[in-house]
Structure 1
Amino acid sequence: MGLNRSWGLYAGDMRLIVLWDIDHTLIDNAGVSKETYAGAFTALSGFPPAEAARTEGRTDRLIMRDMFCRHRLPVPDWPAIEAALAHAGEERFDDLRARGTALPGVRDVLKAVSVQEGWISSVLTGNIAANARVKLSAFELDPLLDLSVGAYGEDAVQRPDLVAVARSRVHQLRGVRGEVPVVLVGDTPRDVEAALSTGSGIIAVASGIHSEEELTAAEAPVVLPDLSDTAGLLEILASFARW
């Protein structure tokens, strides 16, 4: 397998599913995410939350349930929560684009992965699909990912269950059969747990609030400071791929 160091292109048809987390892995949302949760909570409850949402790799189902439980309120039906989240996220698109940013190296590595023959590159995120698209499109990253086969916050309560969702969509929508390896790329111990508990590969990135030491303690075998080394990251990803 020859590596072209300019783009990291690999010869042959090695198969791999790469699933990227979004917040603090691909983008810095500059606090807009927590404002979105607060906005959705306010729309549903009639008053602003007393404290910020607890995120750190949780799914939107868990985040919003936790907010209502901490306020000793009944948890609304999920369709109402999802609609409120989507509306709040769309309202904050301009704020996100103005205040947030794509993280170092992200655009280059997503481009490089997107052209690998036999590889599928999508997302595994706690965000609902509508807000995942808002966040990625704010920085024009959405064309670089196959978002239709991703797994999102509405698809499961617990993050590890999203792996099977993404794998199923890859099979159904892209016709990929057999046990194609899956690699998660994320910045929290919950990303590491989701990978290890499902037999997936994991590349942890210390670009969020969790340090390299914390991610190593969570048993991530590979921990990077960020995604700026495109060629190096492609080499790591290729080590998971299978003919």
Structure 2
Amino acid sequence: MRRHRLVLWNVDLTLVDAGRVSREAYAEAFREVTGAAMVRMAPQAGRTESEVVFETLAFNGVVTDDDHLDAFTAALERAFAVRRDKVRAHARALPGAAEALEAAARLPGAVQSVLTGSLEATARIKLAELGLDRHLDLSVGGYFSPVYPKGATIETSRIKAAAAYKTTIAESATVLVADHPLDVRAAQIARARCLGVATGAATETELRAAGADEVVPTLADTRAVIAALDRLTRP
């Protein structure tokens, strides 16, 4: 079947809630890099890892330099890797996430992957340990980049998917499913569509105001989610 549309899923607070494990991993990485205890962690919703890292360091009185990012992200990967069991125990797939992924895999011509501001390694752990990676081609996903913003990462993912499947995927046939207005803006920059899901910090009204093409309250209504994805990516 010719692949002609790309569905990108945000990970945190769209598909999964791994907040407890993320805070623990950040605290360990912070202590490893700075030698001190983390008192306050920056908000993560809609942001890239570098924004969260540098703001967390600043919140805790650390004068930062360029070397901090590489050191912190490496420590964060290690901290997550040793917490795989805690992801299974304390993180959760959000209601309807598994069903939505399975149903979207049956959309004619669809390629599914992820678009996240998080590190690729940590995103893969969350999805694998919660059993959500089965219908996702993570090799064409978009992950944290110290160089490219999210909007550019969406475009990069679209190009990777088109090359991997030897096809053409239009910008307008690319949809980001996400929970934050910053993700909506990233989709707009990439000329992609956006299905807002009000499972994070933003309300349905706020997602619509940000410019989401369609909005659902959660992923629990599989039929409504798939109908929206079909409408948004239909040629």
Please say whether Structure 1 and Structure 2 have the same fold, judged by a TM-score greater than 0.5: yes
Question: Contact 1:27/1:101 (CA < 8 Å) preserved in 2?
Answer: yes
Which residues of structure 1 form unaligned runs of 5+?
Answer: 1-11
Question: Contact 2:177/2:194 (CA < 8 Å) preserved in 1?
Answer: yes
TM-aligned CA distance change 1:54 to 1:129, over 3 Å:
same
Aligned to 1:152: 143
Question: Of 24, 40, 56, which residue of structure 1 is paired with 2:29?
Answer: 40
Aligned to 1:117: 108
Question: Of 84, 93, 97, which residue of structure 1 is paired with 2:88?
Answer: 97
TM-aligned CA distance change 1:199 to 1:90, over 3 Å:
same
Structure 1: 4+ residue segments shifted above 6 A: none
Question: Of 124, 127, 135, which residue of structure 1 is paired with 2:126?
Answer: 135
Aligned to 1:21: 10
Per the TM alignment, residue 204 of structure 1 is displaced from its structure 2 partner at its CA by 0.5
Question: Contact 2:5/2:170 (CA < 8 Å) preserved in 1?
Answer: no
Aligned to 2:53: 64
CA–CA distance in 2 between the matches of 1:155 and 1:16? Answer: 27
Whichever structure has more helix as a proportion of its residues is: 2
Per the TM alignment, residue 223 of structure 1 is displaced from its structure 2 partner at its CA by 1.4
CA–CA distance in 2 between the matches of 1:212 and 1:109? Answer: 19
CA–CA distance in 2 between the matches of 1:225 and 1:232? Answer: 10
Aligned to 1:74: 64
Aligned to 1:174: 165
Which residues of structure 2 form unaligned runs of 5+?
Answer: none
CA–CA distance in 2 between the matches of 1:129 and 1:218? Answer: 27
Question: Of 206, 209, 230, which residue of structure 2 is paired with 1:238?
Answer: 230
Letter aligned with residue 56 of structure 1: A
The number of equivalent residue pairs is: 232
TM-score of the superposed pair, with normalisation by structure 1: 0.87
TM-score of the superposed pair, with normalisation by structure 2: 0.90
Question: Contact 1:22/1:125 (CA < 8 Å) preserved in 2?
Answer: yes
CA–CA distance in 1 between the matches of 2:183 and 2:29? Answer: 25
Given the alignment of the two structures, is residue 199 of structure 1 paired with residue 191 of structure 2, yes or no?
A: yes
